[in-house]
Amino acid sequence: MPLHQWDYLFAFGTIFAALDAYNIGANDVANSFATSVASKSLTLKQACVAAGICEFLGAVLVGARVSGTIKNGIIDLAAFQDNAGVQLLGFTCAIMASGTWLMIATYNSWTVSTTYSIVASLIGVGVATGGGDAVQWGWNGGKGVATIFAGFLIAPSIAGCFGAAVYLISKYAVLVRKDSLRAGLYTIPFYFLAVGSILTMSIVYKGAPSLNIDEFTPGVTAGIILGTGGAVGLLASLFWLPFVYAKVVRDDYTLQWYHVFLGPLLWKRAPPADAGNREAVLTNTGEPTGTAAEDVEKGQITEEARSDEKASSMSTEATSPAQPHPAPLQEVDSHDIHGAWIMPKNLWIIVRYKALPWLKKILLHGSSVDIHALQAKEGSADAERIKAIHQRAKVYDNKTEHLFSFLQVMTACTASFAHGSNDVSNAIGPYSAIYEVWSTAQPVGPNTPIPVWMLAFGGAMIVIGLATYGYNIMRILGNRLTLMSPSRGFSMELGSSITVLLASQFGIPVSSTMCITGATIGVAMCNGDIHSFNWRGLAWILLGWVLTVPIASISAGCLMGIMLNAPSL
């Protein structure tokens, strides 16, 4: 029997759970894909589509079906004294404080930990409800408050070491070799094998609690991991290797993405006659922009071409006899409104040609903005400072860098799948407790079942958050911190994934936000120059981390205390 007298609390809980999940997508997922977008391995629109699919499938297919309502042992349930109403109020206040803080942080482009935000909010609720003794302040088997502060140092340090190690292996095994492209073609399939195994472990141990991994024997678990990695490596050798060879080495610009399914047949595919004579414009991120003809087709006409065209035009005008130029026909706007707007014809024009284009522009704005243009205003002191940071980083062969783009996309998508299955509970965990208390009128126990519809709700809000507002976080990460390239971005993402995997195995709570930031620092230091990293930008990121715990906990505690002790009408 639902507690209808508390319907308004359930409504507030639903709204702010949606806001919390929205900001997980806009803040947490966005900073995970920032390296892929910054290195141009993915466009912003491609990142939104890939992350949206992986996050949603991760949340719905292998998301946690049971959530600890005390959120990692932070609050002792005895503090609620078996009072269902107080529990409902407590979890509602926690999700309201967490969602509000995440929205403020995302608006100000602060990368914060969504996990720490909800945990800090629960700390405040626990103190307001049962005093200081209601909170597990110690280590508590890796689940107490002390682990929050330990994570500030543990996560970035470990991720930095792993990110640097992966990049150094790539650097000396491939990038600095005399024929780096050939070395990359021989080496990358083994990378696929290793990455496939590591990311499978990440999904199995970190992001798929519903797989009941504890029921598997160690031999079965090892077989799943190695078998998946071996399959990925084999598929890469059969399909990816001939495709990338034809595209990068033979410069077969006629290849489309679906040609990858031709596999070994591509070894015998003859390249176009002019493949070797094309003048490709290469960027320092590993992406050739194509031939001059392709650039013209895309509207990228060079200054020389414009000058020639202008001179030719002037010459023609000078030698041609003067003749009247008829005024061009004015295009008649058939979508004007004539008469009363409420007329059926005018209503159709308003909806079809006025409202829908405006709505489409609003909804797709977040996935179509130019992240690179937003990172710094051209000609500003900030832009010059970032340019100086980039100049201190070594730039390697673009075609070789291009090989790492595939690995980076694979790493980002798999990490996103694991993230969706695991971190959706940051918003849906407390909401499941709110729903359980409201619908049954009974206080919840240590664990609360999470229906599939609730996981789908959380996954959908994460996707919407990334697609509509994730750019506000992406614009201050990536190239604003250091020079990004596919090999660097891949190393950062893989180093972060390894850290999350190992930490989960040893019961050390870490934040994916902190891991990717630490890995970015580690890879940047491999340049051998401390000035190749934007330390001022890092200071703003650290400020967001530090402010999360006191602001979220105090906000939730004050809200809980005021509502709990308000005089009854």
Six-digit token string for 180: 């780096």
**pLDDT of res. 405:** 87
Per-residue pLDDT, averaged over 188-216, amounts to 75
The per-residue pLDDT for 20 is 92
Q: How many helices (H) and strands (E) does the chain have?
A: 22, 2
Per-residue confidence (pLDDT) for residue 430, from 0 to 100: 87
Residues 223-235 pLDDT 10s? 988 999 999 999 9
Q: Is the dihedral of CA 552, 558, 564, 566 positive or negative?
A: negative
Domain ranges of the chain: 4-235+387-563
Percent of the chain with pLDDT over 70: 79
What is the token pair recorded at 298? 């895309």
Using the predicted structure, report yes or no on whether residue 170 has a pLDDT greater than 70: yes
CA distance 271 to 246: 8
324-363 pLDDT tens trace: 444 444 444 457 777 777 777 778 777 777 777 777 777 7
Residue 297: pLDDT band (50, 70, 90) is very low
> What pLDDT was estimated at residue 285?
44
Pick the residue with more confidence: 297 or 204? Answer: 204
CB 486 within 8 A of CB 381: no
The torsion defined by the Cα of 542, 463, 34 and 489, in degrees rounded to 10, comes to: 120
In the chain, the amino acid numbered 541 is I
User: What does the DSSP assignment read for 134-154?
Assistant: GB--S-TTTTSTHHHHHHHHH
Highest mean pLDDT among 93-107, 285-299, 449-463: 93-107
Query: For residues 439 and 354, what is the distance between their CA atoms, to the nearest angstrom?
Result: 43
